[in-house]
Amino acid sequence: MKTIMTGNEAVARGAYEGGLVFASAYPGTPSTEILENIVNYKDDIYCEWAPNEKVAMEAAIGASVAGVRSMAAMKHVGVNVAADPLFTFAYTGVTGGCVLVSADDPGMHSSQNEQDNRNYAAAARVLMLEPSDSQESKDFMRLGLELSEIFDTPVLLRMTTRVCHSKGLVELGDRVEMPVIPYEKNIKKFVATPANGKVMRKNLVQRLKAMEAYANTAEINKPEYNGDEIGIITSGVSYQYAREVFGDEVSYLKLGMTFPMPMDLIKQFAGKVKKIYVIEEMDPYIENHLKMAGIQFIGKEVIPEYDELNPDIVRKAVFGEREEGIKVSQEAVVRPPTLCAGCPHRGFFYALSKKKNVMITGDIGCYTLGSAPPLSAIDTCFCMGGSISSGHGAAQALRKTGNHDLKVVSVIGDSTFFHSGINSLMDVVYNKGCNTSVILDNRITGMTGHQQNPGTGYTLMGEGTEEVDIPKLCQAIGMKEENIYIVNPNKLDEVNKALDEAMAKDEPTVIITKWPCILKKFSPQDKKEFDLSPKKCSINQDKCKKCKLCVGVGCPAIHSGDNIEIDKVSCTGCAVCKQVCPFNAIEEV
């Protein structure tokens, strides 16, 4: 049976067919839909959202050691977080097969960088597979579980945004029920002390030799000979682009397994063609292997080393020409990303933006959009969970150098706080910091499409569970109860009062803004705790003086033309705009 699937759906299907029993992930575009589709197989696969990628990887490792097939999934930057256990797991090897899915984001469609995680496979020395379409996403996921057990190694399945989200036909198969491998105590294999680690290191080198020998004969490393003039060496979605540009007039070496690199096969292919092009996205990963082998080729001197490739870019790079596309008479409307109408972060950011002498350290999440005009209420953003610790460093530096006028406020979301922000807050409290940490609790993981987190009270599989109480958690790590403020972010007076009091103190303070994401499917608990009854706001044109203060809140529901108007369809009645109008021209209707 065939069906149409995205690459992410196909990875989930491959995990199911491959006999997977345990899956864990932290959501992040472009990887999020993998676990959201694995939950469809929850009768056979236990699955969960982890508070961060390191925890997801460690949980998958534990399931593997216990004797079942397991996986962890994350976006590319998440592998930075998971790298600590991954590198040692490469040493110990597996019991049940284990696959780490890294979803890379060439072109930074929704990421803070576009790192090429093929380098991680080489650095950690784990076997790596690179699918180029949905069918291969399913097949390679299943194959990865098998190879993991055959070579006693974790496998990195490297996806990219285009493969994750594009759709293609996929031939479905049946699930292979794998018997649980009985647990056996094996300290020398799984306890990575230095004495054991030295042996593991030697074993790892031996495994690599076996994996490379397999790579040279593996069917997924496939030569396609169509003549001896030009040969293309490529992998992943770049193979699709190369096929579209060069067609059947050149020869290809399509690499499905790119670590260890099949160098014997590459040399054999190179000896049969007169000119070689290496077509790959982002880093010169394949190129570097060819350079070390002394193979002549054309690559990054014409193929861009950054941004996402496509057939037009490849064609222009190689032939200097661009294929004529469909011409349209109208340009697309430019619509920069912005906080949604009714977003509970807007009121807080509006109030914060009016404070003087404040450095605001931000984090990764939809609230990062608070940096955009007219709010402009975030000054820095580096990584998940980094806002509080970078704010701590800044505040301590300012204190040390005698600059007591500039205050530091750090903002972070609820999911991100659980991800790694809690560690940063511990650092602030324990080391007697003085920045104000703001936890923007919108009752869900908003940016990636509403995944549960430890603060929502529900698991990925839909079961109710114990909710982590953020104020009590803050107290548990040493935050004084009188330094914790809980506010409704839609009420500017509450926010202003909390900010003024917290920023005036020369010790750690926390403000928790608590209101559900306006796009969330409200839980019974939400409906009980918050007044979520439908409301709208409207501008009384007789009272409006066109001062445009309401426009300054940056709400996309407010339109500025001859008159200032509120779009009734977009408005959710948060009433933040009403609070900034000095003429009482905005009314709730």
Q: Are residues 312 and 359 in the same domain?
A: no
Looking at the structure, tell me whether residues 348 and 457 fall in a common domain: yes
DSSP state at residue 510: E
Output the tens digit of pLDDT for each of the chain's 589 residues.
999 999 999 999 999 999 999 999 999 999 999 999 999 999 999 999 999 999 999 999 999 999 999 999 999 999 999 999 999 999 999 999 999 999 999 999 989 999 999 999 999 999 999 999 999 999 999 999 999 999 999 999 999 999 999 999 999 999 999 999 999 999 999 999 999 999 999 999 999 999 999 999 999 999 999 999 999 999 999 999 999 999 999 999 999 999 999 999 999 999 999 999 999 999 999 999 999 999 999 999 999 999 999 999 999 999 998 877 788 888 777 777 899 999 999 999 999 999 999 999 999 999 999 999 999 999 999 999 999 999 999 999 999 999 999 999 999 999 999 999 999 999 999 999 999 999 999 999 998 999 999 999 999 999 999 999 999 999 999 999 999 999 999 999 999 999 999 999 999 999 999 999 999 999 999 999 999 998 999 999 999 999 999 999 999 999 998 999 999 999 999 999 999 999 999 999 8
DSSP 420: I
CA 160, 164, 168, 169 torsion-angle sign: positive
- Of 502, 529, 556, which marks where a domain is finished? 529
Neighbours of 581 (CB within 10 A): 21
CATH number, domain with residue 560: 3.30.70.20
Q: Which residues are documented as binding site?
A: 544, 547, 550, 555, 571, 574, 577, 581
Domain membership of residue 133 (yes or no) is yes
Q: In the chain, count of helices (H) and strands (E)?
A: 21, 23
Radius of gyration of the chain (CA): 27
Return the ∠ at Cα 290 (arms to 159 and 217), rounded to 5°.
Answer: 65
Q: How many domains does the chain have?
A: 4
Q: Are 18 and 68 in contact (CB under 8 A)?
A: no
Whether 443 is covered by a domain: the verdict is yes
* 3-class secondary-structure state, position 275: strand
What's the number of CA atoms in the CB half-sphere (13 Å) around residue 236?
A: 32
Residues 461 and 508 occupy one common structural domain: yes
Tell if the pTM clears 0.85, that is, is over it.
Answer: yes
Are 401 and 483 within one domain?
yes
* Residue ranges making up the domain that contains 403: 344-529
Q: How far is CA 235 from CA 146, 239, 268, 281, in A?
A: 21, 5, 17, 9
Which of the listed residues 272, 303, 319 is the one where a domain comes to its end? 319
Among 492, 510, 529, the domain-final residue is 529
Say yes or no: 9 and 135 in one domain: yes
- Residues making up the binding site for [4Fe-4S] cluster: 544, 547, 550, 555, 571, 574, 577, 581
Q: If phi over 0 gives left and psi between -120 and 50 gives alpha, with beta otherwise, what is residue 320? A: left
| C-beta atoms surrounding 415 within 10 Å | 30
Coil/strand/helix, residue 329: coil
Count other Cβ atoms within 10 Å, centred on residue 445.
27
